[in-house]
Structure 1
């Protein structure tokens, strides 16, 4: 009986130590599925992103130009280097405040003045907005995560 218990315990330990745990926090290869950039452009306007941001090809409506903030989006920028930075800047705008902006203008009580849309936007909206904005930046090359069909 003791021999079986030892064999069972050793087998279990061997199996558990053989299994690799996934690395936590490593999102370097994670991407959202590709979305609809045209719908993302509509969302960019709907969520009034132009009240604080500028983007080539988009004119800031006069009624939205009261914030005193003008953060340029798109092109080749130092503060947004890869796809993950782009996604994070939408999901958690206070994660990292871009250098070069006056903290007294873009930060209130330690948080970015950019509102959180996490309780407003659907996942599909987020995917589409990211797809739209991704096309506006010169990001480091990356490969999309391949998602299979799930039933």
Structure 2
């Protein structure tokens, strides 16, 4: 009985670990080199990302801008925003649209209205913008639950 249990556990573990790899299209192994936060902020403004995006706590980025819409970036979050998510949001903005933006001017028929920048920026500029945006998020500590002693 013990051998059967160990065998089932081993097979389950192998299935679980191989299930984590999603094949050749997985993000496993994806890594960006260090980017420049300063250059990323400059590019963010030069490419007019601030026409549609505000950055929490950085009101000066939108000074003298007549915004088309306001899609906030940065601020407190309960989970880490990865650079993989940020890169995907820039190069394929329709991949995942937040539920709070469905049926708003941000999307139309399930597609993001964000313009395509794939041929307008270099890879280094993308890396720098991601470095800039990554710095704008602050992980909110998970509130502890305190239980009374009985």
TM-score normalised over the length of structure 2: 0.67
What SS does the aligned partner of 1:127 have?
Answer: helix
1:52 and 1:70 in contact (8 A); partners too? yes
Aligned-residue CA RMSD (Å): 2.3
Matching of residues 54-133 of structure 1 within 5 Å: 54-55=54-55, 56-59=57-60, 60-65=62-67, 67=68, 69-77=69-77, 81-133=81-133
Change (3 A) 1:79 1:87: farther
Q: Which structure is larger by alpha-carbon Rg, 1 or 2?
A: 1
TM-score (norm 1): 0.67
SS of structure 1 residue aligned to 2:93: coil
Contact 1:79 1:99 in 2 (8 A): no
Secondary structure at the aligned position of 1:88 is classed as helix
Q: In the aligned structure 2, how far is the partner of 1:82 from the partner of 1:128?
A: 14
Runs of 5+ unmatched residues, structure 2: 1-21, 140-150
Please give the alpha-carbon distance, in whole angstroms, between the structure 2 residues aligned to 1:129 and 1:81.
14
What is the deviation of 1:132? 0.9
Could you say what secondary structure the match of 2:27 adopts? coil
Residues in 2 aligned to 1:112 and 1:98: alpha-carbon distance in whole angstroms = 10
1:33 Cα shift? 0.9
Contact 1:50-1:64 at 8 Å conserved across structures: no
| Larger fraction in strand | 2
Are the equivalent residues in 2 in contact too, given 1:28–1:84 (CA < 8 A)? no
Query: CA distance change for structure 1 residues 80 and 88 in 2, over 3 Å: closer, same or farther?
Result: farther
User: Distance in 1 between the 2:109 and 2:64 partners?
Assistant: 28
Tell me the SS of whatever aligns to 1:100.
helix
CA shift, 1:38, in A, is 0.8
Give the 3 Å change call, closer, same or farther, for CA 97–120 of structure 1 in structure 2: same
Query: How many residues are matched?
Result: 116
Specify whether residues 78 and 70 from structure 1 end up closer, same or farther in structure 2 by C-alpha distance, changes over 3 A only: farther
